[in-house]
Structures are given as structure tokens and as C-alpha cells.
Amino acid sequence: MIDRLSDFLNAIQLKLFPFLEENLITLLDSHRKCITTLELVKIEKFIPFNNGWRGRPPYQRASIARAFVIKAVLNITTVAYLRDRILADITLRRICGWDSIRQVPSESTFSRAFKEFAENKLPERVHEILIKQVYEQSLVTHLSRDSTDIPARERPQKKIKNKDLKDCKKRGLKSKHDGKCEKQKTQNLEEILSEISTHCDFGSKKSSGGHRYSWIGYKFHVDVTEESIPITCKLTSASVNDSLLAIPLSTISSQKVNVLYEIMDKGYYVDAISTFIEEKGRKSIICKCPKTTKGKEALEQEELAKKVLNWAPAEDIRFKHRTSVERFNSNLKDNFGGRGIRVRGSQKIFCHLMFSVLALSASYILRLNC
């Protein structure tokens, strides 16, 4: 893949950029970044071109899809600002595929096209094929898993109480999440995903500093490699526990790439998760989080013995690779539009995030050649 990236970058720098500078205005660094991302992603190939319409022909969806990728690359917050930027920048307008200002569609057309992309799962399909091309014959050593909060401008739905906690206590399990993870081991992927809620809800989480915070919206779960390239992404309700997404994410990621180690934090400390991963021939490295007093005391003594002996086990060294998923989440929110979400509904929010993931994946893939 690195050899193909080298040829790809050389073709862009030696042929495409000089040709564009002769026919367009001088290219800025932001223009070069957009062109490189669009040439690597090639999202227009996944949009069918229909010549058999009746009545007024629709705007070209390929140009609108390229505009949404540029929106994520340039971290543009709203469609209105994106359209104003395209109207004011002739180079950016031609990169999208529009020659004149009259060809640029209205905001409502952008919104209708975005709804079509969300229903057809366009960015998700493009990202899946891109990952398969990159890791076609490669081996992923460490796969880090984590979730991040996605606040939304919606009203949360009311929760419906169930009796899962009482049933788990009768069976002698630690919590309702342990019972659900045990149940997931006997289910197929479609059944697991159908039972996970995706509506807007209340969520709470501890920050890296140990402070608890709350939000209204969703959770974005992701598996990334050592290079912070995302492999699998899922959107759930904010109240969904992280452990419930470990088995489905592990199943989907193993279908795309060959993985050796799967690294997770304390939120995934469930016996069913580690046994499921090891049964599939992979190794799980999960940060220990005992729930009993004796277990906590034993863990403290173990950590103290490691400091006295100045000994770092191989699992502790490999666990440090988990910072790749934290870098991905922060970069997604700060630089690729993952923080300022204005759409509503899990389907549209996931589409918005996948456009950001697509742009961020391209930027990380291009770094592999450096």
C-alpha cells in the first residue's frame, strides 16, 4: 500500500497540481489538502448518474458529495457557511465540480442531498472500501477501542425500565452489562445491533482527570489502529455502556483486517469480552478494574510490587498504544467537524460523523508515506 501511495502522491504533485495551477488561480495549502483527500477517497464513483429522470433534472449529487468531504476537511460548521465559502472561492468551487456561481445549489438542495447520503450510508460504504484497500494484505498489531461523547440538539427520549438487573442478580452475575455480554456471545451480529438503542438519551462519563460530566445526545464508538486509522465506527445512545459494543466491534473489525491485540480501558472490563476475543484467536488487553475490596487491594499490591522491582510487563507496554484512539477522538472533534453538529437524528448525525471520519482517515493514510 505504501508503494501505491508513493505513486499516487507523485502523480498528484508532478502532474495534477501543475495542471490545476495553469488553469486555476494559485492553489493554497487548503486547496491542495482538499484535492489530495478527494483524489484518494473518490467519493463520486459511489454515486450513480441517472439520465432517465422526468421533469426538472436534479443537481449533480457527485459535486455535492465532494462539497461535504471538503466541509469536513476544512472544519466548516454549517451548510450555509460551506455554500458561502464555495461561492466566494472560485478555486474551491471548481474543485467541487461547478464552473459558475449559478450552478451552486441552494441550502435546501444541500439538505435533501445529505438526507439521501444518510439513507444510502454513502460515507460508511466509501470508508469500508478504503480500509480494505489499505489493509488488504497487511497485519494490524494493536487495535484500540474507545468511545466519545457526541452532544446533540435534541430532546432525549424517556427511558423504559426493565428487569435485566434483577435477572442478573438471580443468576449470580455482577451487573446487567455482564449478562448482556454473555448473551451476545451466542447471538449473531444483526441480533446484537438490533438490541442496542440509537435514540437520543442522557449520558455520563468520567474524564481523563477523574471528573464526571453529563451530556444529552449520543456515543461514538470506534476501533483504530496504531496509526490512528479508524477501522469500524458505530453510533449509539449516550446511555449505552461501552462494554456492549466490544463484541460487535470486534466481530466487524476482524472481518475487515487481521488483528493480533485488542486494547481497551476499564469500561470494557468484563470476563465475557476477554473470553470471546481469545476464543477467536486474538489477545485482549483490558485495564483491570476490580469491583470488590479484596480485588482492589490485590491490584494495589501488584502495582506497588511493579514499582519496587522496576518491572513493566509486556501487556503494560502494549497498553500504551491505546493513546492512538484518544488522539483520533480529539482530532475528530477539534479539526474535522466532530464537535459542531447541527443535524438531528441518529442517522444524519452518523452520516455527518462518517464524512469527518472519511476525511480524517485520508489524512492519516497519506501520512503513512512520510
Reference 76, options 351, 342, 350, 367; nearest CA is: 342
Mean pLDDT of the chain: 84
Confidence of residue 47 (pLDDT cuts 50, 70, 90): confident
* Other beta carbons less than 10 A from residue 110's beta carbon: 20
pLDDT tens string 21-41? 555 567 788 888 998 899 888
Selection from 7-16, 164-173, 224-233 with the highest mean pLDDT:
224-233
Domain at 139-156+189-345: CATH architecture: 2-Layer Sandwich (3.30)
Q: Tell me, what amino acid is at 303? A: E
Look at 48 and 312; give whichever has higher pLDDT: 312
Question: What pLDDT is attached to residue 13?
Answer: 53
Domain boundaries, the chain: 2-47+59-120, 139-156+189-345
246-285 pLDDT, tens digit each: 999 999 999 999 999 999 988 898 889 999 999 998 999 9
Which position has the grid cell 474524564? 207
pLDDT of residue 20: 56
Please, which residues have CB within 8 angstroms of residue 332's CB and are 6 or more apart in sequence?
A: 148, 338, 353, 356, 357, 360
Q: What is the pTM of this model?
A: 0.86
- Of the candidate ranges 164-168, 218-222, 246-250, the one whose mean pLDDT is the lowest: 164-168
How far apart are the C-alpha atoms of 176 and 169, rounded to whole Å?
A: 8
